[in-house]
Structure 1
Amino acid sequence: YKARQHQCFIEHGYGGKMAEHVFSNGLSAYPTVVGLQYILTKHLEEAGLPRFTFHAFRHTHASLLLNAGISYKELQHRLGHSTLAMTMDTYSHLSKEKEKEAVNFFEKAMANL
């Protein structure tokens, strides 16, 4: 990607220096969070979608993985959380399937008493 980006910057007269940064826009080394949010909001409006932040992508990613059956430990690793408790506190409410699983485990345990 960086090689292609470098080529594009050269072709469009930006020079190769900015291509050293993966997310460079050609004018500055890194776009600002405010600038990125502005662009996202603009595209969402054009598409007729409600406004949301980039963090919503992270939250959606986590919920999709949980509902697909990923372990909380693996999710912790993917999200870069320092503790499993942080992952559980933040995302445990997202997994409806895990909630159903817990009820099934409890029912089985009660049946075996």
Structure 2
Amino acid sequence: MAFKALLFVAVAVAAFAYTSATECYLCNSQIVPGCAKEQGKRSNSFDCASQTPLTGLKYNCLKTVYEIGGYEHVQRNCIEKNVTCGTLRKQFKAQGVDLKECLVCGKKLCNGQ
């Protein structure tokens, strides 16, 4: 069950991350334990526009803190501008994932705190 929920989280975020001219931190604490800490100059960042330069889609940065199987995880990524934390909460809840925190922001590297 935990793997299925984790897979959903990865797919849900990736589905919204087909990614504008916003640079965001990009990490998952299940892969990079330091992702749970505040990000800085040496942290992995990503120009969201580079994923889909031909679509013209606009993007924000995203930080989510969620719980699966009693373990808390942090994920930082790009997300399409029309997606809100409310949308994500509903999707996470439908998969049995507890979304503890959600931040959507539109400035460079704003998902680092």
Instruction: Bin the TM-score by the shorter chain.
Output: under 0.3
Using structure 1 for the length normalisation, give the TM-score: 0.25
- Structure with more strand by fraction: 2
Using structure 2 for the length normalisation, give the TM-score: 0.25
Q: Which has the higher contact order (CA 8 A, sep 6+)?
A: 2
